[in-house]
Amino acid sequence: MEKVDLWALEEQCRREGTLLVCGADEAGVGPLAGDVYAAAVILPWGWVPEGLNDSKQVTPKRRDRLFDEIREKAVAWAVTSVDAAAIDEMNILAARLLAMDRAIRALDPVPDFALIDGNRDKGISCPHRTVVKGDSLSANIAAASILAKVSRDRYMEEMAGIYPEYEFDRHKGYPTKRHYELLRQYGPCPIHRKSFLKKFYARGEAT
């Protein structure tokens, strides 16, 4: 399998006159509970930490190592989130993009251009382009995916301490068989996304 040049997209941006490029990605679109997280990162030009990849392709142990290394060496990084109540109010796509936009705007220095993972961009307020599967094509997006994923997982582990009956540390809020079993037993808690439970409610399974 041919190795991907994780700086090819950034190099293209530079050839087009953009000097400071960030990557942005999110974690937690699919779960039934908890915030959606996003991160934005500007890496030192040309730097690819060992093992960097889409966070879903990286082991938890390596993600933790990369999380520390990226935060230590990045030119700039930011992590933001949008909570379950806001997700219910605006929908998950809008919340996802809002979280990414907040992360980009929190960077210092401010980037000239952003590479956005995915194919949607409504609400992104700086010059940008979307990149489908960007977390496996861009070093900066991949780094953002690591920061967002680790930050969200740690947040869900904290929520497990507040709502231990839901075992959020095990499934991180995703719609697993065990999570649905616990929902049937206890009903939703304050961090559940009510809009994600409509079918669950419709089946009459919630208490």
3-state secondary structure 137-153: CCHHHHHHHHHHHHHHH
Asked if the structure places residue 24 within a domain, the reply is yes
Is the CB of residue 74 less than 8 Å from the CB of residue 89? Answer: no
- What is the C-alpha to C-alpha distance for residues 141 and 81, in angstroms, rounded to an integer? 17
- Could you tell me if residue 186 is inside a domain? no
Q: Write down the pLDDT at residue 204.
A: 62
Nearest to 56 by CA among 19, 85, 25: 25
Which CATH number fits the domain that encloses residue 125? 3.30.420.10
169 in a domain, yes or no?
no
Determine the pLDDT at residue 1.
Answer: 41
Whether 111 is in a domain gets the answer yes
- CA angle, 105 as apex, 103 and 110 as ends, to 5°? 120
Model's pTM, two decimal places?
A: 0.94
pLDDT truncated to tens, each residue of the chain (207 aa)?
456 799 999 999 999 999 899 999 999 999 999 999 999 999 999 999 999 987 888 899 999 999 999 999 999 999 999 999 999 999 999 999 999 999 999 999 999 999 999 999 999 999 999 999 999 999 999 999 999 999 999 999 999 999 999 999 999 999 999 999 999 999 999 999 999 999 887 766 554
3 state DSSP class of 93: helix
Q: How far is CA 163 from CA 26, 166, 172, 186, in A?
A: 24, 6, 12, 11
Domain count for the chain: 1
pLDDT of residue 54: 73
Burial class (CB in 10 A: 0-12, 13-18, 19+), 125: exposed
Strand stretches in the chain, DSSP E: 21-27, 36-42, 76-82, 113-117, 128-131
The bridge status of strand 21-27 relative to strand 36-42 is antiparallel
Tell me whether residue 205 is in a domain. Answer: no
Residue 83 placed within a domain = yes
Residue 185 within a domain: no
Q: Could you list the residue range(s) of the whole structural domain that residue 101 is in?
A: 8-153
Residue 56 resides in a domain: yes
Position 207 scores a pLDDT of: 46
Query: SS3 for 10?
Result: helix
